[in-house]
Structure 1
């Protein structure tokens, strides 16, 4: 019993060291305004720390496709098979401050976070387990905006495809920046999966960092004179229009079950 307790103690210390190291590095290099930006070396170190984190380090149990509850750390329950497939995305807040948000998303198979943006923000995403399809755009600069032909939408804006692929864990940390790397993106779970995110600075509506949702139209849906693209590249572009917050975004709050962070 004593040796079992010691093994559990040192295991938790190992887990805590990874999450604690991530928190301490974020606290050191990130600021509430995002300015001045961290050095490339500091950002690389942040990605390197994230690369080492496994599901167990943040209190998660990996889900498998044949037993898809989408619960992550919640484990087995008495739900029917049909009810299990109707489970929401689970959002877990690990830590939030003026400089950054550290959080986890647990996805059931086929669940979707619709196309949305991260205005003025940098986001580090580590896929902890499973497979996740990512489709992401960056705005074309200078802005190319035209009036929409769809009733109820005032305008559409041209964006360029930055990412369109399936991530399979284990894989390297993904990073998007305020103006490149796919700042506008959507996620679709191919299998049960979980994503650990660092968002900096965090969303703050009063500071102009409000999450906006979009619908993307193929480039051929609209025409504009002197559009800054070449023939044959049309599939690399799309027209985006703002949406109200989607009513079908099914998400619930979870409780962090990993090792506590020492502030």
Structure 2
């Protein structure tokens, strides 16, 4: 019994010594241990960047050049999988017999300063020519090939012209002269495009050459109560109408078109679907 008690006492003592050493070493290891970095999704980074870039924005206010570059860089790194998309999602695969151009919109986020969303277009799908009043718009083609035609209003042709150049015919309502800024195909991956309130192609039309998706960031977003309506247009060649006091050389006429307001065409349908990408945390 005496030997067993001695062994027990020794083991308890040894354990106590071991426990003290273990505690000391454990504390040392905890001090040296690096906490694993929390992974932040690309769409969360985009959201945080938009909050910063558009924090002091407003109608007609363009963010500073360094902010434009920062947001453009973040968008440039966004891939389809970052927003939960693949080129074979069912709602962009349509058959040739479909008569209505069904566009799918995935709403990501919206506040009074900016909005984020994705338009998915089936082959030959069209987002009709429309404007972005007082907005700065960033568009990132995620996949596919898209034809973009974009315009700016003509306000300075020639020197001394009226602010808004309209055709001479009084029978043409709500029609103005615009200059073509972009008329080309774009295939992902490609650089994000930027539209400014008064230049860069503030009015544009998207036509899907193949199934495609485009991520849009608008600052500020559309708002009917605040007068930022989405207006649609029909384009006409320059030769369709005339205007007094303006001469454009024959070889330059193809760069100008008349844009006439219209309602959304009946053969276009925009359907909202649930965004299934990483969720945004708005702290």
State the TM-score, normalizing by the size of structure 2.
0.78
1:218-237 matches, cutoff 5 A = 218-227=237-246, 229-237=248-256
| CA deviation vs aligned residue, 1:74-113 (integer Å, no higher than 9, x gap) | xxxxx9x557786721101000000001000011000101
Match of 1:114?
A: 128
Cα distance in 2 for partners of 1:240, 1:83 equals: 30
| CA deviation vs aligned residue, 1:178-229 (integer Å, no higher than 9, x gap) | 1111111101000000000001100011222100000010001011222263
Q: CA deviation at 1:246?
A: 2.1
Confirm whether residue 23 of structure 1 aligns to residue 47 of structure 2: yes
Question: Where does structure 1 lack aligned partners over 5 or more consecutive residues?
Answer: 1-9, 73-78
| CA deviation vs aligned residue, 1:152-177 (integer Å, no higher than 9, x gap) | x4242100000000010000000000
Q: CA deviation at 1:231?
A: 3.5
Q: Per the alignment, do residues 115 and 148 of structure 1 end up closer, same or farther by CA in structure 2, a change over 3 Å counting?
A: farther
- SS of aligned partner of 1:233: helix
- SS of aligned partner of 2:48: helix
Confirm whether residue 91 of structure 1 aligns to residue 112 of structure 2: no
Match of 1:212?
A: 231
Q: Per the alignment, do residues 106 and 36 of structure 1 end up closer, same or farther by CA in structure 2, a change over 3 Å counting?
A: closer
Q: 1:60 aligns with which of 82, 85, 94?
A: 85
Q: CA deviation at 1:38?
A: 2.0
Cα distance in 2 for partners of 1:87, 1:234 equals: 31
Q: 1:44 aligns with which of 46, 69, 73?
A: 69
Match of 2:165?
A: 144
Q: Per the alignment, do residues 216 and 86 of structure 1 end up closer, same or farther by CA in structure 2, a change over 3 Å counting?
A: closer
- SS of aligned partner of 1:95: strand
Cα distance in 1 for partners of 2:149, 2:131 equals: 12
Give the greater-gyration-radius structure (CA): 2
Cα distance in 2 for partners of 1:187, 1:138 equals: 15
Match of 1:3?
A: none
8 Å CA contact 2:62, 2:197 repeated in 1: no
- SS of aligned partner of 1:145: coil
Match of 1:4?
A: none
Match of 1:75?
A: none
8 Å CA contact 1:148, 1:154 repeated in 2: no
8 Å CA contact 2:168, 2:244 repeated in 1: no
